[in-house]
């Protein structure tokens, strides 16, 4: 079996899907790993390191993926990339179904099987495969550093002969993996941190890291540990309560996202304008439309006295460890699709079923079927009789 690791083509992307340490594991399992020359350079992994791990180095993308049975990527392939894959290929990446219709159409024509990390079931057994969480950890850390760098004052308190400098006040909105890491980073840097989430369950986690949790009277517990979308009435109540808090802090870090939907607007332009001189907002949801009304993805926008940072693709800013974590997630998930070095997906496994967008070109995922305008062909788990049932019949 041939497993291909092409260079990521997204502008500004520095991560790579597999690092040499994990390549070595696949090679030991009898898999032929092909890495495009330069694929890992921006993440500080050289071609020589991949070759030493047992990979073959291909000169270009065509030579990398043309004969591959499995292609692993960080970002979804483009339609042009998918056109270069062989029929029946298995593709593993962050597909983001609603944003990858053209690529999915190309994969359908290839009768490909497409597997996406963003559909991973939220169960204990899947934690080692959870690339969404591993990359969110990097994002949260990056957001805290970005805020500290952009703020026109210190994060920690300093007591000096010239006087005492009070600590910065930081508000983190959204206490998932990214938010918790943002809280931890801001606290390590010495700031006083407030945290807010529409999930009441987030209170204990935020407080365990030293943040003060804001209870604004709006709760939106959703399925699978995620927040659900707020109603218009709930959103209005939330924003009214937040306005006073935002006006009193130096930094706001927003992390709120609802899977498969545009990021919710949490901070209006009026709220931004109420913040003090030199204040900063870091919007980690910029690529999904932003949690801040005036966010521009990939840009710093000055609104009145406040700098709004649209943090685009934050894990790419720390590509070495982001790639290291992602690579381990790839290995752990692909194990469920392999047996003795060959493709043999376990179609009875809920993780395999849950992450599969296309199976041999058919839309196994309902959202993908709707986006493509084709029939939904769910994966049916065969019913196996127990010994007791078999003997009774």
Give the residue numbers annotated as catalytic, written as ranges: 122, 127, 130, 133, 226
Closest C-alpha among 74, 73, 65 to residue 110: 65
**How far apart, in Å, are the Cα atoms of 287 and each of 78, 172, 255?**
17, 18, 11
Rounded CA-CA distance 267/253 in Å is 10
Cβ neighbors of 64 (< 8 A, separation 6 or more) are: 4, 5, 6, 34, 35, 36, 39, 58
- 28, two tokens: 């030991």
- Looking at the chain, the number of H-run helices and the number of E-run strands are 14, 19
Secondary structure E strands in the chain? 2-5, 32-36, 56-58, 70-75, 90-94, 113-116, 158-160, 163-165, 169-173, 192-196, 212-213, 251-254, 280-283, 300-303, 306-310, 338-339, 342-343, 356-359, 362-363
Distance of alpha carbon 101 from alpha carbon 290, whole angstroms: 22
Contact 258, 228 (CB under 8 A): yes
Q: For residues 362 and 380, give the distance between their C-alpha atoms in angstroms, rounded to a whole number.
A: 13
Vertex 264: Cα angle to 258 and 269 (nearest 5): 160
Residue 19's SS3 state is: coil
φ and ψ of 6, to 5 deg: -80, 165
Select from 307, 224, 300, 241 the least CA-distant residue to 273: 307
CA-to-CA distance for 174 and 192, rounded, in angstroms? 17
Beta bridge partners of 138: none
Q: Determine the Cα angle at 294 with ends 300 and 214, to 5°.
A: 100
Residue corresponding to tokens 């309902």: 366
Judge residue 48's burial from the number of C-beta atoms within 10 Å of its C-beta, 0-12 exposed, 13-18 middle, 19 or more buried: exposed
């Amino acid at each position: 079996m041939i497993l291909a690791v092409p260079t990521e083509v997204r502008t500004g992307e520095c991560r790579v899907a597999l690092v040499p340490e994990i390549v070595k594991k696949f090679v030991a399992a009898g898999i032929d790993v092909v890495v495009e020359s330069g694929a890992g350079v921006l993440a500080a992994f050289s071609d020589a390191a991949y070759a030493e791990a047992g990979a073959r180095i291909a000169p270009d993308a065509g030579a990398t993926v043309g004969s591959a049975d499995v292609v692993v990527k960080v970002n979804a392939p483009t339609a042009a990339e998918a056109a270069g894959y062989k029929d029946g290929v298995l593709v593993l990446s962050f597909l983001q179904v609603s944003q990858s219709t053209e690529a999915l159409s190309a994969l359908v024509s290839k009768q490909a099987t497409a597997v996406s990390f963003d559909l991973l079931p939220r169960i204990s057994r899947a934690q080692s495969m959870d690339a969404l969480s591993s990359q969110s950890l990097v994002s949260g850390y990056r957001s805290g550093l970005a805020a500290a760098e952009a703020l026109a004052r210190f994060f920690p308190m300093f007591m000096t002969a010239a006087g005492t400098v009070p600590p910065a006040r930081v508000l983190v909105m959204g206490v998932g993996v990214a938010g918790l890491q943002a809280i931890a980073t801001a606290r390590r840097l010495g700031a006083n941190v407030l945290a807010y989430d529409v999930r009441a369950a987030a209170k204990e986690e935020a407080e365990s890291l030293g943040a003060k949790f804001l209870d604004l009277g709006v709760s939106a517990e959703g399925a699978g540990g995620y927040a659900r979308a707020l109603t218009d009435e709930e959103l209005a109540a939330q924003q009214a309560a937040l306005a006073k808090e935002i006006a009193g802090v130096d930094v706001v870090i927003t992390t709120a996202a609802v899977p498969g939907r545009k990021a919710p607007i949490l901070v209006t332009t009026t709220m931004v304008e109420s913040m003090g001189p030199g204040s900063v907002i870091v919007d980690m949801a910029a690529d999904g439309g932003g949690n801040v009304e005036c966010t521009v993805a990939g840009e710093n926008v000055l609104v009145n006295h406040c700098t709004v940072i649209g943090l685009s693709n934050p894990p790419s800013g720390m590509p070495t460890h982001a790639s290291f974590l992602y690579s381990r997630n790839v290995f752990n998930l692909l194990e469920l699709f392999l047996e003795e070095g060959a493709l043999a997906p376990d179609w009875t496994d809920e993780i395999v079923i849950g992450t599969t967008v296309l199976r041999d070109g058919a839309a196994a995922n309902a959202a993908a079927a709707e986006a493509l305008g084709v029939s939904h062909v769910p994966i049916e788990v065969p019913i196996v009789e127990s010994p007791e049932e078999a003997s009774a019949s």
